[in-house]
Amino acid sequence: MTESTTRCGFVAIIGAPNAGKSTLVNQLVGTKVSIVTQKVQTTRFPVRGIALHDDCQMILVDTPGIFKPRRRLDRAMVKSAWSGAEDADCIVLLVDAAAQLAVKHPNADTKATGADHKAVEDVDMIVKGLQDNNAKAILALNKIDLMKSENLLAIADDLYKTGVFEDVLMISAEKGHGVKDLRALLEKKMPEGPWLYPADQAADAPVRILAAEITREKLFLRVHEELPYAAAVVTTKFEDKPDGSARIEQTIFVERDSQRSIVLGKNGQTLKWIGMKSREELGKLLDRQVHLFLHVQVEEKWSEDRALYAQFGLEYES
């Protein structure tokens, strides 16, 4: 393969929280590089998944969801998302089609929830941001497996009229429907040039951060109803053992003692489950035995820690 025949570029996947961005990135890459949970705003830093097909390498930036920020951490996440879009060769706006239908076409079969209204507000805000920056994007209507085709056409028409979309595709990131068509379209838009990563590399996030994200996913999967967005996971030690195994130590930060009790669970059973599930996935990711040790620490202002922002590649604003 020569340099002149290869293509390589960056694709920013943007959207409202919980639109399915992480699921889409995982589908395009063909392996898991970004966490997927029921909670919104779980992606805190741009995970670059690396998708290969024939002579094309696409670096997929799974940005945090774009939403109206309230805290410093929120502002850093939104700024990171817009930065990822500005630096990309191509932008994909992923939209939860079901939420759009429920809010903008109330006579349809679905009833709008508060989350639906929030998702539509966020999409409108993103579209306005694209318009203000004279940016063009691909519109990917997600979760089509939950909808009728005539409803999808109405939603696509509503959004296409905004003038910011070059192409419109209908997909199901979870089921994989339409993802091949999206990949083919993105490949055509990538500039010619040499690959930036080896062919066997699926992501460029340091393994310490990927390990922390996997544990954070298991944490939210287990306690997503009880625990708000008041937790972070940091890998404090990563050691290669002489027998080829890995010893990983991680700290789960929460803001209050009551949250620590939730994470621990009765007789430590919740933390034990989180550790077991995370250890299993880390073993598959690293292709070796993993010894994982979790510690839960109460730190009321962990979200104000500059070092944590630096780990996630976020900008700390005073």
* Exposed/middle/buried for residue 297 (C-beta within 10 Å: 0-12, 13-18, 19+): exposed
Please, what sign has the CA dihedral across residues 82, 62, 127, 168?
positive
Share of the chain above pLDDT 90, in %: 22
> pLDDT digit string (tens) for 91-147?
899 999 888 888 887 665 667 788 888 888 888 888 888 888 788 899 999 988 877
Of the ranges 4-13, 251-260, 302-311, which one carries the lowest mean pLDDT score? 302-311
Rounded to 10°, the helix 207-223/269-286 angle is: 140
Average pLDDT over residues 191-212: 77
Do 26 and 32 contact (CB within 8 A), yes or no?
A: yes
Average pLDDT over residues 67-75: 47
How many residues belong to the chain? 318
Question: According to the model, what pLDDT value does residue 128 have?
Answer: 85
Residue numbers in the known binding site for GTP are 15-22, 62-66, 142-145
Strand order in the sheet with 90-96: 47-53, 56-62, 7-15, 90-96, 137-142, 165-170
Long-range contacts of 120-124 (CB under 8 A, 24+ apart): 121/68, 122/16, 122/17, 122/65, 122/66, 122/67, 122/68, 123/15, 123/16, 123/93, 123/95, 123/159
Q: For residues 219 and 315, give the distance between their C-alpha atoms in angstroms, rounded to a whole number.
A: 25
> pLDDT digit string (tens) for 264-287?
999 999 999 999 999 998 888 777
Do 58 and 74 contact (CB within 8 A), yes or no?
A: no
Average pLDDT over residues 149-169: 89
> pLDDT digit string (tens) for 302-316?
555 545 554 555 454
Q: For residues 51 and 90, give the distance between their C-alpha atoms in angstroms, rounded to a whole number.
A: 14
**What domains can be seen in the chain, in order of their start residue?**
3-189 (3.40.50.300), 207-312 (3.30.300.20)
Whole-model pTM?
0.62
Q: Which residue in this structure is represented by tokens 């939209």? A: 95
Do 158 and 100 contact (CB within 8 A), yes or no?
A: yes
Residue numbers in the known binding site are 15-22, 62-66, 142-145
DSSP annotation string for 122-164: HHHHHHHHHHHTT--EEEEEE-GGGS-HHHHHHHHHHHHTTS-
Nearest residue to 60 (alpha-carbon basis) of 202, 169, 209: 202
Question: According to the model, what pLDDT value does residue 83 have?
Answer: 54
Q: Which residue in this structure is represented by tokens 């708000």? A: 228
